[in-house]
Amino acid sequence: MIDRRRLLGAALAATGLGAGRSVLAADAPAADAPAEARAADILHRWYRLVLELVRHTPTYSPPVAARTFAYLGIALHEALVPDTPGLRSLAGQVTGLLPPPARSGCDPAVLIDALLARLVAEFFANTGPTGQRALARMTERNRARATAGVAPAVAGQGTAAGLALAEHILAWAAADGGAVIENLGFPEHYKLNPGPANWVPTNRIPLQQVPLLPYWGSVRPFSMPAGDACALPPPPMYSEEPGSAFHDEAMEVYLTVRSLTPEQRAIAWFWSDDPMLSPTPPGHWLSIALQILERDAPPLVRRAEVLALLGIALADAFIACWEAKYRYDLLRPVTYIRRLIDPAFETVLITPPFPEYPSGHSTCSGAAATVLTALFGAPFPFEDRTHEDDGLDARNYGSFWEAAGEAGISRLFGGIHYRSAIDRGLEQGRCVGGHVLALRTRA
């Protein structure tokens, strides 16, 4: 059996943060087993719906999705702290979170259901009629599941506690700078930076003639002190000179796409994770974690801990990444290649409508891999079935970093990122993950 405590210590030592502290132990206090099972069932049902709503709610681009994942995960963890000796609140650790309302002795299923019902309804208040209908049904049915066999007074107590915590989380979230998404994230007014190295629109969609969420780097982070806490070195200096580092990277994209193998193409598609057609890249990583949690069925507190730390990592990864994207404002490969190498160049994947450097997939994957490796260890074999419903076969990995590396390089295979954006993005993700692992979820 893998000694997770030992692996965790090694992981933390590697980050230089919290070395030697076993803050993420997998064991959990004994709990009421039926209530635990009910609560875990409720949790996974809600998260399944959350991943669908991410896909079907128009404002849910990857940064927005990651933000919601963080708040949901933190809320879950905080819900369990009062009744779980040894757990430590994240209040006072993640930026701006005040201690939640005091309470004790709640049925965890009722509590979690009330909490998630309120949070999901609020975070997805703008979803369409079908999402609203599904939300209503899920609320009704999960409520019945959560309260089955629970005394009314106990159910009432758990519900009240869940709702109180939800309001506490929502009030905190409202002030982070990312709560309001206007015009689907594309600003009404935005002036493109002139110059050959800078990003220009890459498609004919009118809305996307300006880039997505240019202010996201200033959204309040959770574990990082600021959006630029994991700043990156600049990309290779822009040059149109053959033989320059920049031109070489563009040529690598061009030649890779032209000679793509079936396996490389499959990798590109598997990690494409387009908004509105998938749960987005952070949702992909959340899906991986949920599959593992369902497979291994750890205690409830452990599930909440994983969802909290992973959610924070994903959210902070996009804040850090977006801060760098708009700091460097680099043009996409398709723009450069068509301008200087081959006007007929076509990418394999859809080029996202925002600057290139670093790769968002890489930053979020690096952060996720850092946190999940600390939580579960390495090697850690798992199967990723995220896209089975969409007809993409499951893929198997021996570790989270293997998956993260594949997610990163998939963007080069897809023709939408240079290698530097991938390599530096993964490094940035590792840095973000380090900040997350400095948080203490256990006393």
Partner 1 sequence: MRRAFLPVLFAWAAAAAAPAPAETAAPAPAVPRFADETATAGIDHTYAGDWEYMVGGGVAAFDCSGDGRPDLAFAGGAGPAAVFVNDSPTGGPLSFRPVPGSGLDLDAVTGLWPLDIDGDGLTDLALARRGEDVLMRGLGDCRFARANEAWGFDGGSDWSAAFAATWEAGNAWPTLAFGSYIDPAEEDFPWGSCTDNRLHRPRPEGGYGPPLALAPGHCALSMLFTDWNRSGQPALRVSNDREYYKGGQEQLWHLEPGAPPRLYSADEGWQHLSIWGMGIASRDLDGDGLPEYFLTSMADNKLQRLVPQPDAAMLRPEFADIAFRLGVTAHRPYVGDDPRPSTAWHAEFADVNNDGLDDLFVAKGNVDEMPDFARADPNNLLLQRADGTFEEAGDRAGVASLLTARGAAVVDLDLDGWLDLVVVNRRDPVEVWRNLGTGAAAGWVALRPRMAGPNRDAVGAWVELRDDAGRVQRRELTVGGGHGGGQLGWLHFGLGESTVAEVRLHWPDGTVGEGVPVAPGAFHILAPGAAPEVWAPPG
Q: Where do contacts with partner 1 occur on this chain (CB under 8 A)?
A: 48-49, 52, 55-56, 58-59, 125-126, 128-130, 132-134, 137-138, 141, 181, 183-184, 188, 200-209, 269, 272, 274-277, 332, 334, 338, 346-353, 389-392, 415-416
C-alpha pair distances (Å), 386 with each of 27, 56, 270, 278, 288? 27, 16, 9, 9, 7
Closest CB to partner 1 among residues 57, 84: 57
Closest CB to partner 1 among residues 415, 425: 415
Number of neighbours of residue 8 by Cβ within 10 angstroms: 24
Closest CB to partner 1 among residues 49, 165: 49
For 326, half-sphere exposure in the C-beta direction (CA atoms, 13 angstrom radius) is: 20
**How near is the Cβ of 60 to partner 1 at its closest, in Å?**
10
Closest CB to partner 1 among residues 121, 350: 350
**How near is the Cβ of 264 to partner 1 at its closest, in Å?**
14
Closest CB to partner 1 among residues 26, 253: 253
Closest CB to partner 1 among residues 68, 157: 68
Number of neighbours of residue 105 by Cβ within 10 angstroms: 10
**How near is the Cβ of 391 to partner 1 at its closest, in Å?**
4
**How near is the Cβ of 408 to partner 1 at its closest, in Å?**
18
What HEC string does 48-106 produce? Answer: HHHHHHHHHCCCCCHHHHHHHHHHHHHHHHHHHCCCCCCECCCECCECCCCCCCCCCCC
Token pair 């790769």 in the structure block, residue: 359
Q: Are 267 and 358 in contact (CB under 8 A)?
A: no
Q: Is 332 helix (H, G, I), strand (E, B) or coil?
A: coil
**How near is the Cβ of 392 to partner 1 at its closest, in Å?**
8
Q: Are 399 and 380 in contact (CB under 8 A)?
A: yes
Dist. CA 185–CA 317, nearest whole Å:
18
What one-letter code names the amino acid at 299? P
**How near is the Cβ of 239 to partner 1 at its closest, in Å?**
22
